[in-house]
Amino acid sequence: MQNANALVPREAARSAPMADIQRIAQHMARLNVAALPRNYELFHEAIIGLNPGLAQDIAALGPQPQQAMLDELGLKYRLVGHCGLAGETSRNEASRMLREIAERLAEGLRHKDAFARACGMILKSLSGHEDQSLAAFIGEIDYLSASLTAVLSAEMDIGARLQEDIKALQVLERGISAMQSAAVADKITGLANRIAFNRVISELYEREGGAAGSALIMVDIDNFTDLNERYGTQAGNKLLKKLAGLFSKSIKKNDFVARTEAHEFGFLFSNVGMQDAMAIAERLRTSVEDNLVFATSDKADPGRLTISIGVALSADATTAGQLQANARVALFAAQSNRRQPVQAFGR
């Protein structure tokens, strides 16, 4: 049996969610930081998430840090709340770079056009003045040579700048890709988040073959808020990570799992009926209760983690929203009946 974590209550380590919020709000107020959701996320990561690098970077900004500087830190540490902001910044940067590339290409065309005009003028001069002196001819050749040198120099400069721009665009593309990944990933567990979860379920009903043949399983950790308040946010996060690892091993290639709420997970299983889905749900429940236990200082508390599970079939819903609503109805039924912690919608 795996001991998930030794969760021994300690007065100094207690950090109830409300206390965390107050602590962060007070710290932001002392620095005169605007009460924006993305700023709260930034300070939560630094203070509650115990990110020493971010905490040092914030401290280095001094009192009354500018919002732009805080946003730069959010982008640096890939915080989810800054992904939209990062996307807009990246799009603006890409647009700026593409404009510069267009201007450099236009500059190259202007140099080539000037050289072509010079060639035309010299050819016209030579054909119209057959008795032209050698000195005049050499002068025109020198002018043509200088024009060609200018064109070649400009071409080399433009080529070098284009290479730099291409490399910068590649770096930007990798950054955008990383931010897109961060936008659909849960920061604590590394699983997909609700955004990704909703997208997958929506795509299920957009397929040409329809949504039949899949099962949605919603899992809620019983009394997780109480665990967080009693043992602290850090301990709760460690349990979530252990749970995520266990869930990841429970799915196959074509299945999907995400952390959809603070203490809720969603599974989408392909090619299963209700009987198979209920069997899967029961295996998930026993796996959690058999493998995730924690030490407590309370002899009356067995330290066993329990979950409630709701199951719904995609065939019983016509939209993604209805499927989720059905699964949630089943989940509420499971939470209301501790003797039957696994419930199926409509059964």
| pLDDT of res. 209 | 60
> What is the share, in percent, of the chain residues with pLDDT greater than 70?
78
Show the tokens assigned to 315.
Answer: 């065939």
Please name every residue paired with 185 in a beta bridge, in sequence order, or none if there are none. Answer: 192
Show the tokens assigned to 176.
Answer: 């955008």
Residues 6+ positions from 169 with CB-CB distance below 8 Å: 94, 97
Residues 6+ positions from 218 with CB-CB distance below 8 Å: 260, 264, 265, 266, 267, 309, 310, 311, 312, 324, 327, 328, 330, 331
Q: pLDDT band for 83, please (50, 70, 90 cuts).
A: low
Q: What is the largest CA-CA distance in the chain?
A: 116
| pLDDT of res. 85 | 60
Helices (H), 48-133: 52-60, 67-76, 83-128
Residues 6+ positions from 283 with CB-CB distance below 8 Å: 250
Helices (H), 184-213: 194-206
- Top CATH class of 194-344 equals alpha beta
How many whole angstroms separate alpha carbon 311 and alpha carbon 248?
Answer: 18
Q: Spell out the domain ranges in the chain.
A: 3-79, 105-183, 194-344
| pLDDT of res. 2 | 41
How many whole angstroms separate alpha carbon 257 and alpha carbon 265?
Answer: 7
Would you say residue 54 has pLDDT above 80? yes
| pLDDT of res. 133 | 66
Neighbour count for residue 89 (Cβ, 10 Å): 18
